[in-house]
Structure 1
Amino acid sequence: AYRPNYQLLEFPLFRNVSRKLSSTIRSAIRSFVKMPEVKQDNWELVSQFNPVVGCSQWKLVESDYDYAQEISRSGYGDMLHDSDRNLKYNLAIQKAVAYRRRMYPSDSIRVLDIGTGTGLLAMMAVKADADCVTACEAFLPVAECAEAVLKANGFWGKVHIIKKSSTKLVVGSDMNERANMLVAELLDTELIGEGCLSTYRHAAECLLTDDATLVPYAADLFVQ
């Protein structure tokens, strides 16, 4: 079956797609809900999601452990301010929605965003005129942040946030029906280092229709 090339293309439009989110994200981080914990004197056993293995693992941290510091040291900020990356994702999502409108005019466009982070790709899907957007995020503090970002940008009620891993989603309870479009940022500098293959495999088997459109759906590897 023909599938158009939705590889991330140049998109010379707005340059400041994420600047408005910065202050909202900073304030949301300060009010994060604590993760489940078991206290041991001055230490706490906390459950943390490990994106490499795709599941939660226990970690012993000091009792004054600061989740905001962990997030600030992560790559979230760099990704949000990578305007080139964001603009290309935006164009790819617009092209994917337009393709499904043209090829399946009687179908609603149901988008699943796996690992939504701050909700940026989910908001892009809404702006591209998707009918239904479900976004899942397993890391609770970031899921809380996504809710704050959606509210601040007028997307609350247009995106359904689910605070769990995509592998825990159940069609019928978490999602009314299978999605026919998947958007996700699960790739890293090693392409599949974040364990994305098992995530995509589970989504294809349990969460997506057979004709689902994926963004992104292909990659080029260069060896030097």
Structure 2
Amino acid sequence: MSGLMRLGAVRAALPRARGSSGQRTAPFVLGVRHFSRIDAYQHYYGKLKNQEGMLRDTARNEPYRLALEKALQKMQGATVMDIGTGSGFLALLAAKYGAGKVYAIEGSPEIAQVASKLARANGFGAVVEVIPKHLEEITEQDIPLASVDIIVSELFSHFLVGEVGLQVVTEAKRFLKPKGLVLPQEAVLKLAPFEDAQLGAELRGRHSFWQTKDFMGLDLSPALAIAEEQLLKELVLDIVAPEQLLLTAQQAPQERLDLVTPDDPDVWRKMSFELVFPPRERDALIDGLCGWWDVIFSSPEGETYSVLSTGPDAAPTVWAQCRFLLHKPMRAAKDDVLNVKCELKSHKERESYSLQMLLRNETSKMQSRVGPVELSNVYARHFARANPFPYETWSST
């Protein structure tokens, strides 16, 4: 999810960036006007056309519907919080499946009005209360502390964390009852190496202008290296065919994220992990790493309700997959031992994350790096061509 690049993840209910003291950090300053990416979220997600894109994404919506339906017994008469409700879709589903009270949190005033209107029109006006505030502005006068039975949210972005959605749910836990249910409960980040020389050539070709040696008598080529360096700092969103990877999606190693246990939002400020890749089927010149995520909806007893996957082997979603280019392609035999160290740091001013990775061939001792990539710095390559996005309307059965 990222502005025009992503039709549906973190809404305007995201918290504004905070420093370690818990105080809000200063937003960008443009002349005398203060500007924050939150302003952009509110404007973007306040548009019904963009909400339509999310509602048409069946691969996104169905796992949520199924999870709420599976939680039917716990839902009866329950108090539910839907964070970043947008058009109110999840809030209305919770009401439909028996919730007694639904707090629908939405920071965009325009779309909050739409959610209220849809709640009334569908007969849930007495159940769904739309609160047009950012989550951090919600007080116990709005929602009593420890009064919520179920928290549900869809605040995910490219590589899951691109727009700091995990912090929001953790911060919201002050309203959750002891042993309350959080949906989804778990997420996994996955990575697989790929070989695609054409991609690198294509992306570098986007900056061929800076090869010009006679631009009105001026040589622009000294800037080419800077343009290529900037390219390597971009997150490339793309729809990746499974056969383009050097591993199957099932073989790709993963990092598990517990979305339920943390009580301090600062736990998500920095995430570091290391993954080991299994042997590949062939030797390759690795050009980069492909990343995606799954989220898992479970009962408190551990029963899996449903899974939302953004992998290359799953139905296409608005998130697509992430491609991270190596600074230098790295050769690897099929049985070479490869590992990758990944570090994600929250970027306060950008209200996003900065990602760095180090890919190491333990057999040859060669290594190459990715980044730093700002996850808010997105090139949506898949939008430049036709793709099999499943625009379908959800309907009951």
TM-score of Structure 1 vs Structure 2, range by shorter chain: 0.5 to 0.7
> For residues 39-89 of structure 1, what are the alpha-carbon distances to aligned partners after superposition, in whole Å with 9 as ceiling and x for unaligned?
xxxxxxxxxx584856896449xxxxxx6897257x422111112322221
Matched, 1:209 2:185: no
**Shift in Å, 1:115:** 0.6
Q: Which residue of 2 aligns with 1:7?
A: none
Matched, 1:220 2:188: yes
The whole-number CA distance in structure 1 between the counterparts of 2:89 and 2:45 is: 21
> For residues 73-106 of structure 1, what are the alpha-carbon distances to aligned partners after superposition, in whole Å with 9 as ceiling and x for unaligned?
7x422111112322221110122342x36xxxxx
**Shift in Å, 1:154:** 2.2
SS of the aligned residue for 2:139 comes to: coil
Shift of the 223–208 alpha-carbon distance from structure 1 to 2, 3 Å rule, reads same
2:114 paired residue among 142, 145, 150: 145
Greater fraction of residues in helix: 1
Shift of the 69–158 alpha-carbon distance from structure 1 to 2, 3 Å rule, reads closer
1:192 paired residue among 135, 144, 161: 161
Shift of the 72–136 alpha-carbon distance from structure 1 to 2, 3 Å rule, reads closer
Shift of the 50–151 alpha-carbon distance from structure 1 to 2, 3 Å rule, reads closer
SS of the aligned residue for 1:194 comes to: coil
Matched, 1:129 2:98: yes
Q: What is the number of residues matched between the two proteins? A: 161
SS of the aligned residue for 2:187 comes to: coil
Structure ID, larger Rg: 2
Greater fraction of residues in strand: 2
Structure 2: segments with no counterpart, 5+ residues: 1-11, 18-23, 28-33, 37-42, 193-397
Q: Which residue of 2 aligns with 1:30?
A: none
The whole-number CA distance in structure 2 between the counterparts of 1:89 and 1:198 is: 20
Structure 1: segments with no counterpart, 5+ residues: 1-48, 61-66, 102-106
Shift of the 166–222 alpha-carbon distance from structure 1 to 2, 3 Å rule, reads same
The whole-number CA distance in structure 1 between the counterparts of 2:44 and 2:160 is: 27
SS of the aligned residue for 1:113 comes to: strand
The whole-number CA distance in structure 1 between the counterparts of 2:90 and 2:187 is: 19
2:57 paired residue among 82, 96, 101: 82
User: Where does 1:54-203 land on structure 2 (aligned, <5 Å)?
Assistant: 58-59=34-35, 71=47, 75-98=50-73, 100=74, 108-171=77-140, 173-176=141-144, 178-203=147-172
Identity of aligned residues (%): 29
- Tell me if structure 1 keeps the 8 A contact 2:77–2:98: no
Q: CA RMSD in A?
A: 2.9
